[in-house]
Amino acid sequence: MSMDCNDSFECTPEMEEFLCERLLDQSEPISERFRALFSIRNLKGLRPREALVRATRDPSYLLAHEAVFALGQMQDSEAIPPLQDILKDLSLHPIVRHEAAEALGAIGSEEAVTLLKDTLIEDPILEVQETCELALRRIMEQKNVNSDDGTCTKVSPFHTIDPAIPASLDSSVDQLREVLFNEGEGIYERYAALFALRNLGDDAAVTVIIESLAVRSALLRHEVAYVLGQLQHKMAASALADILRNVDEHPMVRHEAAEALGSIADSESIELLQEFVNDPEPIVSQSCEVALCMLEFERDGKSFEFLFVEPPAGT
């Protein structure tokens, strides 16, 4: 019997405990742990939150950063203190700390503003600085949106909490392109232009997004790759493949390119993921492994998001 924690089956306490244990079990393949993580992010309460918080300190930086991302997407204010601790901990990988700043912006509490401001000024990692800038603006902009008309625009058409509110769709593709490529613009404005282009989603917009894989900011390039994964446009496959092949590219960009290629899932993309599943950079190799596993489930007509096994007897 399949166990679905979000839809037709109730997630029992036993299944919840099984998922949390599977997430934290470092002897399990990374793909199995991701399956547990993707299930847990649909749950609420103390035990799932505790498991995700513990996973943020995992030796797998890919898993740790995904656990941080999940905490932000869940918008659980109880996660703010551990997320702040992650952001302050310079011993952690920048991809994890950057994700903590983004998660604090996604939750949107002014409680995090002081730390984000301090980190923006003092942090030694540019990508973390830029993410703090993003998070601060997102908190401010979301507050303004909610107070102006009582509505909330936090959730994108792709059912994610974006790091920036998309720019107005009254802007043309050319106008959005100008902002996205302008190295003198703030990172928030450039992200807002990117998400507006994503929401337009036509060939002209996708062409601009693909071209922006060449911008200077690694943080922005990684978000561009993420957006191309959301769009699943085959036109992007060649450019994403070039990113994955480029061993001099920032690991956070290559990892997002791998995941985006898994979303596009044409034969060339799958072959490339298979080639790079043994990449010496763990963030990249594990991204390829998880992407390939997700594709196997899709080919079998199953959802990767839920574990299709019952907990062992006695758990």
Among all chains, which residue has been given the structure tokens 């905490």?
A: 71
Binding residues: 65-66, 98-99, 222-223, 255-256
245, 239 Cβ separation under 8 angstroms: no
Q: In sequence order, what E strands does the chain have? A: none
Q: Which of 132, 144, 245 is nearest to 187 (CA)?
A: 132
Q: Hey, how many other C-beta atoms are within 10 angstroms of the C-beta on 201?
A: 15
If DSSP codes are grouped into helix, strand and coil, which group holds residue 161? strand
As annotated, the binding site for Fe cation includes 65-66, 98-99, 222-223, 255-256
Residue 161 phi, psi (nearest 5):
-90, 105
- Cβ within 8 Å of residue 223, ≥6 positions away: 163, 191, 194, 256
Write phi, then psi, for 57 (nearest 5 degrees).
-110, 20
Structural tokens at position 138:
């997102």
Spatial CA neighbour of 3 closest among 15, 21, 17: 15
SS3 sequence, 215-231?
A: CCCHHHHHHHHHHHHHH
